[in-house]
């Protein structure tokens, strides 16, 4: 016991003696260990500013917001006779997750009015090197709202595409083919005294669109570009045709972290054949300097455009300002912007007949001169997944086209133009909530105030267009969707016998309003498994056979149901 106590006492004495010198060194101002400790602390302090500088180097300013046309509708299932072609624009909600590619699928369905629907999507799955695929689509209604087969319709399209990726650079090509069948069913049987046959009033369109393109959209690249060359071809049943060789360029060269030079351009050469044959050249270039100073974004440039059209003797060569100023009041929350602009807008029969398939032959097509134009607006994201946008545009347009019933045949439409400028006030607004892939709801609307001078009315251009939409994904098993379209009344022309003159030869024109449109559409999809699902939808569920174009009522309640299989 005594030995162990002596050992413990010796050990305690040794530890105590070892601690005393350490304490005395720490208190000695001239000790070498103290100098070493001070040097280590200095090195750590010197490293902090370097880390801050590196962080600033990799900081990337958020890209400028861009307007894009986004369809929140269900175009795969929309029947052609009910197509409204809303012109309201929707700003894309930032997507949180990458959209999955499910591979391939086939959809088949049918409905009332003798409707048949089919679609096939055959693409490779997501790849870092190559993307290619085939799209097939067909929708037709054997019967329609007027005399059954006399108002039937059909659309068939085939699309091929391929892209090769080399890092951020992409080389691609696409080819689209289409055939559409419509009937001129806007006739008056009482005036005719008989019912025409379906073949005597039919119209058939054939379409081809080919394009080869190359792009580099790497945000870190000094030179970004998107260049394409294409050819569009269109013809109808009455031997009219349109060939359009075109090219487009979108480019930007980064001079510094704050400044970029951009050059955007479009070229088109159209050969149009009808009873006459003539060409329509078009070229437009917009160089600009874009500068970013903290919260201020400024773009200064000019748009130079030339068109070969001489309708209403509008000036062929035009120069417009291209100035845009944007200021971020709250970062990632609130942006205000405004500017001055203008430019030529290419107008083609290829596009016009997608808006209105009942055009009369021998139409005089002209490019629209939009400008000078002033605009201002806001983009705000008050909370996550919610965007509110508003914009006001004031423009002065030449050769803005309107659709009016033809005096020669009121079942068809002519393009008509104001011989003077048309003043336009556009007020656009939208509120969109997008909760990832589960729920999406929104409202968007446009008010267009047209001031025409030599035309009696702004024919078939409604002053108000609105849309409310929503979709909900329930546990990945059930997808529910709804749309409500609203169009204000516009005007067409009716030609009535002149009671004073010979009623068989002379007619007077009377403006006739079209219907105020409400169109409710609902959709439901139910997934049995990862591969098999069924769908059902109803169009125009309010049953209003409204006339978007005068004399052309649409179908009433029409439903479609079918099955979808993924593989």
Question: Which tens digit of pLDDT belongs to each residue from 412-448?
Answer: 999 999 999 999 999 999 999 998 778 999 999 999 9
Is the confidence at residue 306, as pLDDT, over 50?
A: yes
Whether residue 3 lies inside any domain: the answer is no
Cβ atoms within 10 Å of 339's Cβ, excluding its own: 18
Is the confidence at residue 212, as pLDDT, over 50?
A: yes
Please tell me whether residues 43 and 122 are part of one structural domain.
Answer: no
Please tell me whether residues 33 and 182 are part of one structural domain.
Answer: no
517 pairs with which residues across the strands?
487
Give the tokens for residue 73: 């509708």
- 446: burial class by Cβ within 10 Å (0-12, 13-18, 19+)? buried
- Residues in CB range of 113: below 8 A, 6 or more apart: 141, 142, 143, 144, 555, 558
- In order, the DSSP letters of 391-416 are EEEEEEEES-EEEEE-SS-TTSEEEE
Contact 123, 144 (CB under 8 A): no
Is the confidence at residue 270, as pLDDT, over 80?
A: yes
> What local confidence, expressed as pLDDT, does residue 103 receive?
66
> What local confidence, expressed as pLDDT, does residue 102 receive?
52
Residues 372-394 have a mean pLDDT of 94
Handedness of CA 109, 156, 147, 198 (dihedral sign): negative
> What local confidence, expressed as pLDDT, does residue 332 receive?
83
Is the confidence at residue 76, as pLDDT, over 70?
A: no
Residues 526-531 have a mean pLDDT of 92
Give the tokens for residue 256: 């510094």
Please tell me whether residues 333 and 480 are part of one structural domain.
Answer: yes
Whether residue 20 lies inside any domain: the answer is no
Angle at 522 between CA 553 and CA 122, to 5 degrees: 100
Pairing relation of β-strands 517-527 and 386-398?
Answer: unpaired
Q: How many domains is the chain partitioned into structurally?
A: 2
Q: How far is CA 532 from the centre of its chain?
A: 30
Q: What integer best gives the mean pLDDT of the chain?
A: 83
Cis peptide before 94 (omega within 30 of 0): no
503 pLDDT tier (thresholds 50, 70, 90): low
Give the tokens for residue 105: 């699928």
167 pLDDT tier (thresholds 50, 70, 90): confident
User: Can you tell me the distance from the alpha carbon of 556 to that of 145, in angstroms, rounded to the nearest whole number?
Assistant: 7
Whether residue 327 lies inside any domain: the answer is yes
504 pLDDT tier (thresholds 50, 70, 90): low
Is the confidence at residue 113, as pLDDT, over 70?
A: yes
By residue range, what is the domain housing residue 511?
70-566
- 460: burial class by Cβ within 10 Å (0-12, 13-18, 19+)? buried
Please tell me whether residues 90 and 190 are part of one structural domain.
Answer: yes
Angle between helices 2-26 and 32-58 (to 10 degrees): 60
Please tell me whether residues 39 and 96 are part of one structural domain.
Answer: no
Rank 55-59, 254-258, 347-351, 493-497 by mean pLDDT and report only the highest.
Answer: 347-351
Whether residue 321 lies inside any domain: the answer is yes
Domain boundary among 35, 58, 81: 58
- 130: burial class by Cβ within 10 Å (0-12, 13-18, 19+)? exposed
From the list 376, 403, 401, the residue with the least C-alpha distance to 389 is: 376
Is the confidence at residue 22, as pLDDT, over 50?
A: no
Q: What is the pLDDT of residues 309-349, one digit of tens each?
A: 988 889 999 999 999 999 999 988 999 999 999 999 999 99
**H/E element, 247:** strand 241-254
Please tell me whether residues 206 and 167 are part of one structural domain.
Answer: yes
Please tell me whether residues 32 and 171 are part of one structural domain.
Answer: no
Please tell me whether residues 124 and 50 are part of one structural domain.
Answer: no
Contact 297, 325 (CB under 8 A): yes
């Amino acid at each position: 016991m005594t030995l162990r106590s002596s050992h413990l006492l010796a050990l305690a004495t040794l530890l105590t003696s070892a601690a005393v010198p350490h304490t005395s060194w720490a208190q000695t101002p001239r000790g070498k260990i103290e100098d070493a400790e001070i040097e280590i602390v200095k090195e750590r302090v010197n490293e902090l500013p370097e880390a801050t500088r590196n962080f600033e180097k990799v900081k990337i300013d958020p890209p400028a917001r861009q307007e894009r046309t986004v369809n929140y509708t269900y175009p795969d299932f929309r029947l052609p006779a009910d197509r409204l072609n809303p012109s309201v624009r929707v700003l894309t909600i930032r997507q949180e997750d990458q959209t999955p590619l499910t591979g391939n699928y086939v959809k088949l369905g049918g409905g009332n009015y003798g409707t048949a629907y089919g679609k096939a999507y055959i693409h490779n799955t997501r790849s870092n090197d190559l993307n290619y695929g085939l799209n097939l689509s067909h929708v037709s209604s054997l019967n329609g709202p007027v005399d059954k087969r006399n108002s039937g319709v059909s659309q068939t399209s085939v699309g091929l595409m391929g892209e090769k990726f080399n890092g951020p650079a992409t080389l691609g090509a696409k080819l689209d083919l289409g055939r559409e069948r419509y009937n001129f069913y806007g006739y008056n049987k009482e005036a005719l005294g008989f019912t025409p046959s379906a073949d005597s009033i039919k119209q058939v369109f054939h379409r081809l669109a080919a394009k080869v393109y190359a792009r580099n959209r790497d945000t870190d690249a000094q030179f970004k570009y998107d260049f394409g060359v294409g050819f569009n071809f269109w013809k109808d049943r009455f031997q009219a045709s349109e060939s359009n060789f075109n090219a487009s360029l979108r480019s930007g060269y980064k001079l510094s972290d704050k400044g970029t030079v951009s050059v955007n351009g479009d070229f088109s050469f159209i050969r149009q054949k009808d009873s006459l044959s003539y060409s329509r050249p078009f070229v437009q270039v917009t160089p600009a300097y874009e500068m970013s100073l903290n919260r201020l974004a400024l773009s200064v440039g000019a748009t130079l455009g030339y068109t070969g059209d001489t309708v209403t003797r509008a000036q062929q060569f035009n120069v417009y300002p291209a100035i845009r100023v944007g200021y971020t009041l709250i970062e990632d929350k609130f942006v205000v912007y405004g500017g001055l602009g203008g430019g030529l807008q290419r107008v083609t029969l290829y596009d016009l007949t997608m808006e209105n398939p009942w055009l009369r032959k021998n139409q005089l097509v002209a490019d629209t001169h939009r400008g000078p134009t002033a605009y201002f607006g806001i983009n705000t994201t008050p909370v996550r997944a919610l965007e509110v946008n508003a914009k006001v545009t004031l423009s002065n347009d030449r050769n803005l086209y309107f659709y009016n019933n033809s005096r020669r045949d009121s079942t068809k439409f002519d393009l008509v133009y104001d011989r003077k400028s048309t003043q336009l006030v556009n007020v656009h607004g939208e509120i969109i909530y997008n909760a990832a892939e589960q729920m999406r709801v929104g409202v968007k609307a446009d008010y267009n105030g047209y001031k025409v001078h030599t035309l009696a009315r702004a024919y078939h251009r409604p002053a108000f267009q609105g849309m409310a939409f929503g979709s909900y994904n329930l546990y990945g098993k059930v997808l529910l969707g709804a749309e409500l379209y609203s169009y204000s009344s516009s005007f067409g022309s009716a030609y009535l016998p002149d009671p004073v003159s010979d009623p068989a030869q002379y007619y007077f024109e009377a403006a006739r309003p079209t219907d105020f449109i409400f169109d409710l559409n609902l959709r439901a999809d139910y997934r049995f498994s990862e591969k098999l699902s069924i769908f059902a939808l109803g169009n125009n569920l309010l049953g209003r056979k409204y006339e978007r174009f005068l004399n052309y009522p649409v179908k009433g309640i029409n439903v479609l149901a079918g099955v979808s299989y993924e593989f």
